[in-house]
Amino acid sequence: MVFYFKARPEAGDYVIFMGLDKYENEELIKYGFPEDIWFHVDKMSSAHVYVRLHKGQTMDDISEGLLEDCAQLVKANSIQGNKVNNIDVVYTPWQNLKKTASMDVGQVSFHNSKMVRTVRVEKRINEIVNRLNRTKVERTPDLKAEREAVNAAERAERKQQLRDKKRREEIERLEKERQAEVRSYKNLMVAENMTSNKEIASTSKSLQELEEDFM
């Protein structure tokens, strides 16, 4: 089961979500999206909280309000972290999560520690946590099917982009050939005109000579 929450309206249309337990966390780790940002209380056990950004966005696009919602939610869902003040919450893109066969269920590390950021949470703010909980929806999604559907859509988009590129290249090739034919035709016309002028000049000279001979 996965719990879904709506971020504060002023932050934009963002969905925050987390798994029921470590087994759902494992599925979320496995079938995440490139737009997903993962949150966890640093050095403590806690829920794995995600926010799904819009396509093309990065961590730099997370507003302070959205960051606070995610940090408060992950703190509230940490047995130890919920009881103490001044905790750190770490967050990183889903693609930076590293999973090996030797790790326990739900356990992760990072491919690149430089891509991990930290935000300090001084205390639990009940107003934020309660607002988020009022938006909570429980679902049992087929995470694998959702990921495969996205993969299929991305493949179709790449194929369409490739077809569009080939079509543009073919149009450009035909246009270059047409322009080359136009230039060739113009050059031919200039050569023919030069030849005609020479012939006229030659003919005129001959007529003049004939007139002189006649006189």
HEC secondary structure over the chain: CEEEEECCHHHCCCEEEEECCHHHHHHHHHCCCCCEEEEEECCCCCCCEEEECCCCCCHHHCCHHHHHHHHHHHHHCCCCHHHCCCEEEEEEEHHHEECCCCCCCCCCEECCHHHCEEEEECCCCHHHHHHHHHCCEEECCCHHHHHHHHHHHHHHHHHHHHHHHHHHHHHHHHHHHHHHHHHHHHHHHHHHHHHHHHHHHHHHHHHHHHHHHHC
Beta-carbon-side half-sphere exposure of residue 185 (alpha carbons within 13 Å): 6
pTM of the model: 0.74
What's the pLDDT score for residue 129? 98
What's the pLDDT score for residue 191? 63
What's the pLDDT score for residue 205? 52
CA dist., res. 130 & res. 3, Å (int): 14
Per-residue pLDDT of the chain (215 residues; tens, 9 = 90+): 899 999 999 999 999 999 988 888 899 999 999 999 999 999 999 999 999 999 999 999 999 999 999 999 999 999 999 999 999 999 999 999 999 989 988 789 999 999 999 999 999 999 999 999 999 999 998 888 888 887 787 788 788 888 888 889 888 888 888 888 787 777 777 666 665 655 555 555 555 554 565 55
What's the pLDDT score for residue 185? 76
Quote the tokens at residue 192: 């023919």
What's the pLDDT score for residue 210? 46
Residue 138, beta-bridge partner list: 3
What's the pLDDT score for residue 209? 58
